[in-house]
C-alpha cells in the first residue's frame, strides 16, 4: 500500500442536541447517584449532571456538556447548606493549587457559577 493512510468508512447518524430538552440529550448518560449532602434532583439535567451535545446514533460516540446548575453532580442544594466547589488559587511560590470553596446553597440556585460569591475555605 506504500505508506498511504486509508480511512475505514463506517456508518454514522450524527444528531446535534440543542440542550437538555432535545430528544437524544440523555441517551447513554447515566443518572448520578446522590452523594448524601445535596437535597433534590437538578431541575435542568434531571439528575444526569450532563447531556449529549452531539451523538452518533450508530456508534454512540458523543460530545457532552456539563450542567451549569448542578456542576455535573445531578443534584442540587435546596436550603442554606453550603455547597462545595473546586477552585484554583495561587500559592506563595506562584503555583496553582486546588482548593475546595464553600458557597451558600441559596446562592447556587439564584446565580450562574461564575457569579457566585465564594466563601473563604473553612468558613
Do 71 and 85 lie in a common domain? Answer: no
Do 65 and 96 lie in a common domain? Answer: no
Distance CA 63, CA 54 (A): 5
Tell me the pTM.
Answer: 0.68
Q: Report how far apart, in Å, the C-alpha atoms of 16 and of each of 21, 28, 64, 87, 108 are.
A: 12, 15, 11, 31, 29
Q: Residue 114 carries which DSSP code?
A: G
pLDDT of 118 reads 45
Residue 123 in any domain: the answer is yes
Residue 61 in any domain: the answer is yes
Number of domain units in the chain? 2
> Tens digits of per-residue pLDDT, 90-117?
999 999 999 988 877 766 665 554 544 4
Which range of residues forms the domain containing residue 66? 12-76
Name the more confident of 94 and 7: 94
Do 24 and 67 lie in a common domain? Answer: yes
> Tens digits of per-residue pLDDT, 10-19?
788 999 999 9
Do 71 and 22 lie in a common domain? Answer: yes
Amino acid at each position: 500500500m506504500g505508506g498511504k493512510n486509508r480511512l475505514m468508512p463506517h456508518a454514522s447518524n450524527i444528531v446535534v442536541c440543542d440542550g437538555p430538552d432535545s430528544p437524544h440529550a440523555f441517551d447513554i448518560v447515566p443518572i448520578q447517584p446522590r452523594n448524601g449532602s445535596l437535597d433534590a434532583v437538578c431541575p435542568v439535567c434531571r439528575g444526569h449532571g450532563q447531556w449529549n451535545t452531539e451523538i452518533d446514533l450508530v456508534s454512540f460516540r458523543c460530545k457532552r456538556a456539563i450542567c451549569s446548575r448542578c456542576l455535573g453532580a445531578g443534584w442540587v442544594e435546596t436550603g442554606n447548606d453550603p455547597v462545595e466547589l473546586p477552585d484554583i488559587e495561587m500559592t506563595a511560590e506562584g503555583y496553582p493549587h486546588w482548593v475546595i470553596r464553600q458557597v451558600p446553597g441559596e446562592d447556587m440556585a439564584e446565580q450562574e457559577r461564575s457569579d457566585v460569591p465564594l466563601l473563604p475555605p473553612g468558613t
